[in-house]
Amino acid sequence: MGDAQTVTVHIRKLREKIETDASKAQYIETLWGAGYRFRL
């Protein structure tokens, strides 16, 4: 169900909204093979 990139697109849009520099993520960390986690 759905596209394989759905989660990736949503994470990118969240990063654009909350990160000061989306290319250097501070809050949403990518854990390759596991998913994502929110850091403070």
> What angle (nearest 5°) sits at the alpha carbon of residue 10, between those of residues 12 and 33?
80
Query: How do the pLDDT tens digits run along the chain, 40 residues long?
Result: 678 799 999 999 999 999 988 788 899 999 999 999 999 8
Q: What is the pLDDT of residue 18?
A: 92
Flag whether 33 is in a domain: yes
Give me the domain span that covers residue 13: 6-38
| Torsions phi, psi for 11 (to 5 deg) | -65, -40
pLDDT at 23: 82
- Tell me whether residue 22 is in a domain: yes
In a domain, 17, yes or no: yes
* Within a domain: 14: yes
Of 31, 32, 10, 12, nearest to 22 by C-alpha is: 12
Domain count for the chain? 1
Looking at the domain assignment, is residue 23 inside a domain?
A: yes
- Report yes or no on 15 lying in a domain: yes
1 domain residue, yes or no: no
Sequence-separated (6 or more) residues with CB below 8 Å from residue 15: 22, 25, 27, 28
Instruction: Please report, as a single letter, which amino acid is at residue 40.
Output: L
